[in-house]
Amino acid sequence: MACGCEVRIADLDERAARQRARQAIDEIRRIEHKYSRYRADSVVGAINLAAGAAPVRCDDETLSLVAYADALHGTSDGLFDITSGVLRRAWDFKRARIPSAAEIDAALSLVGWGRFERDGRQVRLARAGMEIDFGGFGKEYAADRAATLLMDAGCRHGFVNLGGDLRAFGPQPDGSAWRIGIQHPRKANETIASLDVVRGALATSGDYERYFELDGLRYCHILDPRTGWPVRHWRSVTVLAPLAIAAGSLSTIAMLKEAAAAELLARSGAAWLTVGPSGQVDSSEGLAGRLPATASRDDPR
């Protein structure tokens, strides 16, 4: 994984903990290899290579991830679209350049979940050049799977943290919560808050992961599949939910929904913390941890 990966197991001696951690990391690697869009021998690589050509037969795990992607597409009114990765061909964040309308249109013509065809176990992208990408939830899926594996192996205290998206499977051995730092969206080496997590998951999406700035405007890597342009509004959205994949998907959908996400989060039933356009921090009730003084709810502790 192209991110910091931390498996913490606090209730076993070092040898046993290392052995479990090994199994958890093996599971994370398995998922990375199977669904990497950079590997031609991965499932995603095979589907993308066969775009516009023959259907590809999928196993149960892949089909359930496809079903999940479909559910997210529906829930997000089409904003969460795993075929939108081709927009990166138009947006090169290293070159810090705004693409032409023609470039964006060309990329947009290859986006559309509606053109991902499914027939039993066979799946197919309708047009050559189209691509799917599980990157929008693959990391969180891996964190959940690894945490489940550790729970099944009897671990009761610890967490799996993949680049800030984390699933905890139990408190610290003394029963207290894990305090998890939330990346400051503008200061690379600082946290903006620390949240207490005992069990369940926490995930953050933000405009700071890959971006460029031009004429005072920030262009981030989260792209709206309808317009082909980067989303604006939130600097970051953190969601706490029972599963890392649910927390990560909700935080990404919130980024995609821009200002309308405030209502979505308020009614989501999840706990959340947002950093708004001018840096103001807002959070749901019931968050425990160290919140910045600007947080509009909940006492800072």
Partner 1 sequence: MTTSPSAGAAVLAAALALPGMVPTVRAESAPESAQIGFKYLSYRDSQPGLKRVSVDAPSVSWLVPVAGSWSLAGSYTLDSVSGASPRWHSSISGASRMSDFRRAADLRVTKYFARSSFGFGTAYSTEHDYRSNSYSLQATFSSEDNNTTWAVGVGRALDRIDPVNAVVVDEHKRTTDFLLGVTQVLTPNDIVQANLTIARGRGYYSDPYKQIDERPRERNQAALMLRWNHHFEDPGASLRTAYRLYGDSFKVDAHTLSAEWVQQLPRGWTIAPSIRYHTQSAAKFYYDPVYDPLLGEPFPPGYLTDPGGYYSADHRLSAFGALTLGIKVTKAITKDLNADFRLDLYQQRAGWRVGGPGSPGLATFRARFVQVGVTHKF
Q: Does 14 bind partner 1 (CB under 8 A)?
A: no
Number of residues in contact with partner 1, rule: CB under 8 A?
A: 43
Q: Does 284 bind partner 1 (CB under 8 A)?
A: no
CA 33, chain centre distance (Å): 17
Contacts of 213 (CB under 8 A, 6+ apart): 96, 219
Q: Does 148 bind partner 1 (CB under 8 A)?
A: yes
Q: Does 60 bind partner 1 (CB under 8 A)?
A: yes
CB burial of 175-194 (b: ≥16 within 10 Å; e: otherwise) equals: eeebebebbbbeeeeeebbb
Q: Does 145 bind partner 1 (CB under 8 A)?
A: yes
d(CA 210, CA 94): 9
Q: Does 93 bind partner 1 (CB under 8 A)?
A: no
- Contact criterion met (CB below 8 Å) for 203 and 163: no
- Of 188, 269, 285, 299, the residue at the interface with partner 1 (CB under 8 A) is 269
Q: Does 152 bind partner 1 (CB under 8 A)?
A: yes
Q: Does 270 bind partner 1 (CB under 8 A)?
A: yes
**Interactions with partner 1, residue window 164-193 (CB under 8 A):** 174-175
- Contact criterion met (CB below 8 Å) for 82 and 113: yes
- Of 21, 43, 56, 65, the residue at the interface with partner 1 (CB under 8 A) is 65
- Contact criterion met (CB below 8 Å) for 169 and 176: no
- Stretches 92-100, 107-115, 182-190, 243-251: which one binds partner 1 (CB under 8 A)? 243-251
Contacts of 214 (CB under 8 A, 6+ apart): 96, 97, 98
Please name the residue ranges forming H helices in 56-100: 60-75
Q: Which is nearer to partner 1, 16 or 288 (CB)?
A: 16
CA 274, chain centre distance (Å): 15
- Stretches 94-102, 145-153, 210-218, 286-294: which one binds partner 1 (CB under 8 A)? 145-153
- Stretches 47-55, 58-66, 85-93, 99-107: which one binds partner 1 (CB under 8 A)? 58-66
Q: Which is nearer to partner 1, 59 or 117 (CB)?
A: 59
Q: Does 216 bind partner 1 (CB under 8 A)?
A: no
- For the chain, strand residue ranges (E) read 5-9, 56-57, 116-119, 122-125, 158-162, 165-170, 178-183, 191-197, 199-206, 211-214, 217-220, 236-241, 271-275, 281-283, 289-290
Q: Which residues bind partner 1 (CB under 8 A)?
A: 11-12, 60-61, 64-65, 67-68, 71-72, 74-77, 141, 144-145, 148-149, 151-156, 174-175, 241-243, 245-246, 249-250, 253, 257, 260, 263-264, 267-270
